[in-house]
Amino acid sequence: MRHGQQADLERAAGLPVSVMLAPDDVALATNEVGFISAVVAPLYRTLVSAAPPLRACLTLIDQNKRMWEQVAARGAAGGAEGGGA
């Protein structure tokens, strides 16, 4: 089943549409920032203490988080809901 179909079924059933299925750039970006902040970055900070060569991954993680923060800020500034993820 396509993500769009799943979102349509949730809407039709009166359920809130799952963030990862909704065509909402702001919600998706906010979700990504939260996941990176709560799970990915802390995990890699811990891994770096055991495997220092992984430090380069932290730079990429930070860049990715900043990109999603910019997507969220642009969408929020434009009042976008449903910008098409």
Q: How does pLDDT run across 11-50, given as a tens digit for each residue?
A: 889 887 776 666 677 888 888 999 999 999 999 999 999 9
- Give CA–CA dist 42/7, Å, rounded: 31
Global pTM?
0.68
CA angle 16, 1, 39 (to 5 degrees): 60
* Residue written as token pair 């702001």: 26
Instruction: Supply the pLDDT for residue 9.
Output: 85
The two structure tokens encoding residue 66: 């900043």
